[in-house]
Each structure stands twice: as C-alpha cells, then as structure tokens.
C-alpha cells in the first residue's frame, strides 16, 4: 500500500475521532463557578485520550483539538476559549500518544497506557487551571474569588480526568482490537 493510501486512512480516522470528541463533549453536566464562569463534567476527555492511543501523538492531538474546539465554537459559553481549547486538548491527546507509543509499544501495554492517560490528563489540568487562574486575575477578580473558581474547576477537572483514564484505557484495547481485526490499523500504520 502506498504512502498516499496510508495518508487517506489517517486523515479519515482523524475526522472520525474529531467527530467522536465533538459529540462526546455534548454529554455533560454544567457546574457553576464563583466568578460567572462555567465548568462541567463531560465525556469528551475519554475520546481525546482514545484519539492519542489509536492515532498517536499528532493524529490524536489533531482529532482531540479539532473536535473540542468545534464544540467550543458551537457553544456561546465557550466560544472565546476555542483557540486555547484546541491547544490544550491537542496536548492532552499528544502527551498520551507520546507516552503510549514510547519505544516499540504502539499503544499495546496496559500499564503504560494507564501512565499515558494520566500524563495526558495532568498536562491538560495544569494548562486549563493555569488559564483559569490567569484569566481570573486579568479580569480583575479578587484573589479569593479566583481561588474559589479555580478550586471548583480543579474538582470537576479531576473528576473528568479520573473518568477519562478509567474508561479510555480498556476502551483503547477494544477499539484497537476491532481496528486490527478489520485491518484498518494495518492500513494506518506509520510507514
């Protein structure tokens, strides 16, 4: 199979996973935050991590970033955050993919996948909470309100992270097995 055929499969899979990320972001519970902002518990990070596992750091990062940013631009509460979301979710999946694909692993080691999912989730949390802190200070909120808002976001972000790690690792094994059985994994392999 030529490299252009592999590229077509990779691009198609990035699109499919971006769509999964987009739709899974819609399944959420909004949580009000102290300074008028919104945080939420959602399923989007599961598919961001899954993108990193299946598509590797770059493809997974693109799928996670594109799907999450598209969700933001379709929701008035998040539209201003879309560029940050693209970068932060890209890095969530990319870090997961980099760790999962360490050496010749190709995302198949269960213990390494747990570490990969946790590393991606922690990376995202640091970026997301750091942005919330700086943003709160820049809009002139009192330090107490900023800390309260960041603490609320830290709780919801931690819940999202735990759910994402717990669900994405076994889901990765199932999806990779299905892709391998259908020979799609072979058609996407790096060449």
Query: What confidence tier does 190 reach under pLDDT thresholds 50, 70, 90?
Result: very low
Chain-centroid distance of CA 128 in Å reads: 12
pLDDT tens for 127-169 read: 999 999 999 999 988 999 899 989 988 998 999 999 999 999 9
At 191 the pLDDT is: 40
The domain 3-188 having CATH identifier 1.10.1760.20: the answer here is: yes
Q: Are 51 and 59 in contact (CB under 8 A)?
A: yes
At 37 the pLDDT is: 65
Asked if the model's pLDDT at residue 90 lies above 50, the reply is: yes
CB burial string 116-132: b at 16+ within 10 A, e below? bbbbbbebbbebbbebb
At 185 the pLDDT is: 78
pLDDT tens for 174-187 read: 998 898 899 887 77
Domain boundaries, the chain: 3-188
Cα(68)–Cα(88) distance, integer angstroms: 9
Query: What confidence tier does 28 reach under pLDDT thresholds 50, 70, 90?
Result: confident
User: Lowest-pLDDT range, 2-16, 25-39, 146-160?
Assistant: 25-39
Cα(186)–Cα(33) distance, integer angstroms: 45
pTM for this prediction: 0.90
Q: Which two tokens stand for residue 86?
A: 């693209």
């Amino acid at each position: 199979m030529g490299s252009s055929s592999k590229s077509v499969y990779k691009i198609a899979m990035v699109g499919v996973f971006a769509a999964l990320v987009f739709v899974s972001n819609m399944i959420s519970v909004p949580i009000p935050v102290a300074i008028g902002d919104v945080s939420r518990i959602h399923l989007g990070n599961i598919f961001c991590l899954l993108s990193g596992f299946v598509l590797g750091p770059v493809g997974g990062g693109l799928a996670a970033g594109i799907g999450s940013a598209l969700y933001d631009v379709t929701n008035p509460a998040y539209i201003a955050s879309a560029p940050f979301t693209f970068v932060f979710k890209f890095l969530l999946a990319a870090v997961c993919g980099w760790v999962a694909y360490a050496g010749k692993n190709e995302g198949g080691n269960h213990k390494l996948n747990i570490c990969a999912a946790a590393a991606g989730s922690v990376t995202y949390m640091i970026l997301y909470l750091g942005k919330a802190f700086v943003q709160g200070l820049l809009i002139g909120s009192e330090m107490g309100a900023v800390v309260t808002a960041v603490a609320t976001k830290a709780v919801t972000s931690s819940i999202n992270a735990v759910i994402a790690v717990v669900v994405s690792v076994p889901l990765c094994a199932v999806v990779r097995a299905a892709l391998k059985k259908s020979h799609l994994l072979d058609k996407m392999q790096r060449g």
